[in-house]
Amino acid sequence: MLSILLLTVTVSCKKTTKTEVQEVDTYVADNYTKKEVDIEMRDGITLHTTIYSPKDTSKKYPIIMQRTPYSSRPYGEGNFKTKIGPNEHLMKEGNVIVYQDVRGRWLSEGHYVNMRAYIPNKTSDDQVDESSDTYDTIEWLVNNVENNNGNVGIWGISYPGHYATYATVDAHPALKAASPQACIGDFFFDDFHHNGAYLLSYFRATSLFGTQRPNGDAPIDTAWYTLPNLPTEDQYQFFLDAGPLKNLDYFFEYETADTPTMRPEGVTDDYFWNELKEHPNYDEMWQSRGLIQHLKNVKSSVATMIVGGWFDAEDLYGPLETYKNIEKYNEDNYNTMVFGPWDHGGWARDKERNVVGNYYFGDSISLFYQKDIETKFFNHFLKGEGDKNSGLPEAYVFDTGKKEWKKYDTWPPENAAKQTMYLSDDQELTSEQKGTTGIQFISDIKKPVPYSEDVKTVFTPRKYMTDDQRFAARRSDVLVFETDVMEEDLTLAGDIMAHLKVATTGTAADWIVKVIDVHPADAETNEEMQDHLKMSNYHLMVRSEVLRGRFRNSFSDPEPFTPNEKTDVNIKLQDVFHTIKKGHKLQIQVQSTWFPLIDLNPQTYVDNIFKANESDFKTQTHTVFTDSNIEFTVLK
């Protein structure tokens, strides 16, 4: 049911009018009733919860819920979302759809903790976490929502995906299905860090998580935080000119009425920025907030379907490690994974053509997922038999090179094996080691390698995950290693380990490895391609990862390099499913800066880079030795 709004626009002096038709989708308001309640948790705190129930009360429905730090708005029982639930099919089939503001956010009471630590073996009602809050919420819903069938599902993307994972730990008996999607697993490896390197490109998102609510942390229905506004579209030059990270503190000195203007030196009003600064290593704070290590006892009564995008710049570690850990420690559970050619949350969009950045993967891929995978999963466990015979495979994965879906009984597939290739002289990537020489390059802190050739300031980066890497291959501080033209398909299916042998004239360095599919000269350009590029010889980045070198042996106990000493640096790159097709080439790029995706390493060792001085930053010469290798997981 659509409500039609007619807008009449007068054009120039003549009495010519143009009528523009805007369609407002009223399906939810026409078919659902909306109720807002404050559900009391075991410690007395109430959480604001919005319940959409089908107007057709002739049958009973499952409850599908999402818990979010990003608001369950629109608030007010007469104000409706235009779409509810994981997808349109589940909305139109009829389900009770619930949204909840998590503790300490928006209209919920309590204090918000960014990635709140799980408390096992709770001994009192004062010990609360996201698991207990979810349990208490489900308990209230199944006992108070009319026409529910006693079965509950939960889903969410990104941070809400994290809460969906959390729900499976100490799960309520009514929880039958959980789909954590792009779920954060650990903030030292997702989003704000990658293997210990701080993602400067997420700088503007900091205040979203670290701004205290006003009026004594009271519930509020409007945004109380402001995002840092960079005074330029050239974020590369801005952060380069800004210098050390401590020079950015002023963005988080809010000077609100609730905030005293006197503060200790180096401490800001943003508690998340303060945490980032004071905890540069994987210490007890980060470890306690990670959820991956608590997935050893996921209730077998909860079916899990983990969803992710192969080109998700924000949360790729989280969903992969969530799937793998549930799988490893919970043998009898129904636990599956779905990974497609998407960026962050791309599977939930309704676009016909599926594109990430410049790269086109095909039509209706997300629509297929929503109808034939996601809807099928929830219906089977919430309305159907609920056994392990869901009709879905263990791994529903999209080969981003062949551009087609595949189904496997295990992940990685049973016929996958390890294959090692060496970084050899003359820019060759070879199946055998060809000696042990050193290849040098200068890492100039005044000219770090850009992560993208685009000039723009972003909230969080996404497009770069499929960016053409020719611009980087042409730099002297990026080492290139490449196979001959492939005579047959090579399918990468699983994780990738880079075993680097390196040295540096300094005492600190970052190491970045990129896996690239070099397309042939006659590759056809798609319509979404940026004007200055063509698909001919396109260098598609398939996977990339950084390791902050100080963490090469331990993320908790950093250590400097010994100048000019050959050193092992092993970097785990997240899983891929990509065929380097016949006629293409496989390329590896190695570099030590990736700016401003990650912050600039001083290249001289300091205890805390967030507190480094201008004088700590030094240009250094790095060496990569030709006994370095890349271990791929390939289909045989």
Distance between CA atoms of residues 301 and 176, nearest Å:
6
From residue 545, alpha-carbon distances to 4, 318, 340, 365, 608 in Å are: 49, 14, 19, 26, 21
491 alpha-carbon distance from chain centroid: 24
Average pLDDT over residues 35-43: 98
Diameter of the chain measured on Cα atoms: 81
Average pLDDT, the chain: 94
Amino acid 6: pLDDT: 41
Average pLDDT over residues 480-484: 98
Dump pLDDT digits (tens) for 272-300: 999 999 999 999 999 999 999 999 989 99
Amino acid 508: pLDDT: 98
Distance between CA atoms of residues 97 and 208, nearest Å:
26
Residue 12 binned pLDDT confidence (cut-offs 50, 70, 90): very low
β-strand partners of 526: none
Domains in the chain (CATH in brackets) are 26-186+292-408 (3.40.50.1820), 193-287 (1.10.3020), 416-635 (2.60.120.260)
Amino acid 254: pLDDT: 81
Instruction: Check pLDDT > 50 for residue 7.
Output: no
Distance between CA atoms of residues 197 and 550, nearest Å:
10
User: Which secondary structure element, helix H or strand E, spans residue 164, and what is its range?
Assistant: helix 159-167
Determine whether 403 is exposed, middle or buried from the number of CB atoms within 10 Å of its CB (0-12, 13-18, 19+).
middle
Tokens 């042996």 correspond to 553
Distance between CA atoms of residues 87 and 307, nearest Å:
14
Dump pLDDT digits (tens) for 518-557: 999 999 999 999 999 999 999 999 999 999 999 999 999 9
Cβ(56)–Cβ(114) below 8 Å:
no
Amino acid 1: pLDDT: 45
From residue 171, alpha-carbon distances to 132, 165, 495, 599 in Å are: 9, 10, 30, 39
Amino acid 268: pLDDT: 86
Dump pLDDT digits (tens) for 196-239: 999 999 999 999 999 999 999 999 999 999 999 999 999 999 99
The reported pTM is: 0.94
Shortest CA distance to 189 belongs to which of 181, 199, 180? Answer: 199
Query: Alpha-carbon torsion 412, 417, 422, 427, what sign?
Result: negative
